[in-house]
Amino acid sequence: MLTDTAFLQNLGLIIVAAALFSLIGRRVRLPSIVAFLLAGLFLGPVTGLVAESEELKLLTESGIVLLLFLVGLELTVDRIREVGKVAIIAGSIQILLTSVISWGICRALGFDLLQSVLLAAALTISSTVVVVTILVERDESSTSHGQAAIGILLVQDVFVILLLTILTGLDGGEETDASAITTGLAKAFGGMLALVVMMLVAARYVLPSPFSWAGKSRETIFIWSLSWCFIVVTVGHFLHLSHEIGAFLAGVSLAQLPHSHDLQRRVRPLMNFFVAIFFVTLGIGMSVDVPASLWGSAIVLSLFVLIGKFLIILVIAAKLKFDARRAFLTALLLTQISEFSFILAAVAKKSGLPTGEAGNLLGLVGAITITLSALLISAREPIFSFLMRRNLLRAFPPPPEKPEAETTSLSNHVIVIGMNTLGRELVRRLDARGETVVAADTDPLKLQDLPCIKILGDAESPAVLREAGLETAKLLVSTMHIESTNDLLAFRCRVAGVPAAIHAVNLREVTNLLDMEVAYMMSPKVDGIQLQNAELSRRGIIRK
């Protein structure tokens, strides 16, 4: 039970250890994934303070579900059309080449035919959790290399589903029930097709109206979105699909709505919490008591994953005309094995197959490749510069002169917060004067028909202001009537060195705003009294 004292104690230890190790890791520039794995190793194999449990597995599965849901929220239909063909071609060729080469290596290392097939399949797939976590941390999940890597991972996920379906059709490892396997595959493909069709229909006809109504309340739309995610995951389970596929398609269906960017910002902190627990729990489950005979094989297979898989994806990227930077970053992101690799070994063993030491070996390879891959990705810029200087990426077109993030950045623009009557009128007038305007509000209906860049989200969120380009804006205008939010915006503008024009709802706010060095205050009450006095004076009712 989730309320057991032992579980709560273990969860508390995991959270504290994750916080401490991530803090230490940040001080020594260690990737968060590595820090969390070290925290798990400390809690599990080293000290024995925490053991694996079903409750912890449930939490980690929730984290993976939210992670794939967040990935789906990034993908509109147009974006899927852009990356879909590339992902299918690159993913299929990568699976074929990696499987054949790794099978040959395993046979050369002395593994029998069945073990070599299992190890080859496990080494072929990369970790969705690791890759997407890194992309989310770096705000790169919508970049070209991020989308290419995610596309290849999704093709790998389908490959894993097929393998698991085949394994569940095995009878005690001695006989293969062809009818059961065929039925299982038909269910998997049929379920996938049915769920995709349901999501497309829902995104087009079902979701827009209720979510437009729920959008008036930030809390309501957040809860509705999470509910929708887990509803689709449940439907996918009944259709014999993995939780990851269901969560991803739930996110894709919501990505077609105007609230998707706001939902990304809201889901991310919750996802980060569960993902941290996932990596700590993964470290807890790692075994340090590995036979010496496996170390040699583990090192060889780890080098193949880190170097061989990297080179295979580079070759495929060259054929697909990727530029040098996109090819390098895509290949580097996929240089580890997946959490599904361990699941494959466990299911194979459960089916009665003679897997031998494959499970222990994969655990060791997983620890090595996930750790080193994260470290290599954190050092990607020096590595890329070295390869470019040595002319080792000459087979690729040169990368763009500016990094991808810079080509779409905002500068010298005006941010208007709050789309009430005043805010909407300001946006229209500023746009008419030729200004670049970014309008932000929590209500999508108020943003409709405005001739500017529109951001749906809470202005108190640093992520919203970052997306609006506060650091490079020339002015921020808040027409909101919320005193606390206006004070916060004034403070953040002061820190960023950006002039602010703030709506002072009450006269008592003036002192606070003056302390924040606000450039201009809109005070309707003061302005109204001045106009009233001027009119009364003109009529001779009062004298100045």
Please report which helix (H) or strand (E) contains residue 520, including its range: strand 520-522
Pick from 26-35, 36-45, 263-272, 360-369: least confident: 263-272
Please report which helix (H) or strand (E) contains residue 176, including its range: strand 175-176
In the chain, domain spans: 53-287+300-389, 410-538
Rounded Cα distance, 149 and 204, in Å? 27
Rounded Cα distance, 426 and 447, in Å? 13
- Interval 63-79: pLDDT, tens: 778 777 877 776 776 66
53-287+300-389: which CATH number, 3.40.50.2300, 1.20.1530.20, 3.30.1020.10, 3.40.190.10? 1.20.1530.20
Return the percent helix, strand and coil in the chain, to nearest 5. Answer: 70, 5, 25
* Residue tagged 């993976």 (tokens): 64
Residue 184 has pLDDT above 90, yes or no: no
Pick from 250-264, 375-389, 442-456, 512-526: least confident: 512-526
CA nearest to 252, candidates 164, 147, 159: 147
Residue 176 has pLDDT above 60, yes or no: no
Q: Enter the CATH code of domain 410-538.
A: 3.40.50.720
Are 85 and 320 in contact by the 8 Å Cβ rule? The answer is no
Q: Are strands 520-522 and 437-441 parallel, antiparallel or unpaired?
A: unpaired
Rounded Cα distance, 498 and 488, in Å? 13
Whole-number mean pLDDT of the chain? Answer: 80
Q: Who's near 496: CB < 8 A, 6+ residues apart? A: 470, 471
Residue 489 has pLDDT above 80, yes or no: yes
- Interval 339-349: pLDDT, tens: 777 777 766 66
φ, ψ dihedrals at 470, nearest 5°: -60, -40
* Percent of the chain residues topping a pLDDT of 70: 82
For residue 288, give the DSSP letter.
S
For residues 482-517, one letter each, b for 16 or more C-beta atoms within 10 angstroms of the residue's C-beta and e for the rest, the string is: bbebbbbbbebbeeeebebbbbbbeeebeebbeebe
Are 18 and 280 in contact by the 8 Å Cβ rule? The answer is yes
Instruction: For residue 502, list its beta bridge partners.
Output: 478, 521
Are 441 and 415 in contact by the 8 Å Cβ rule? The answer is no
Q: What are the structure tokens assigned to 49, written together?
A: 């303070």
pLDDT of residue 105: 92
Are 117 and 259 in contact by the 8 Å Cβ rule? The answer is no
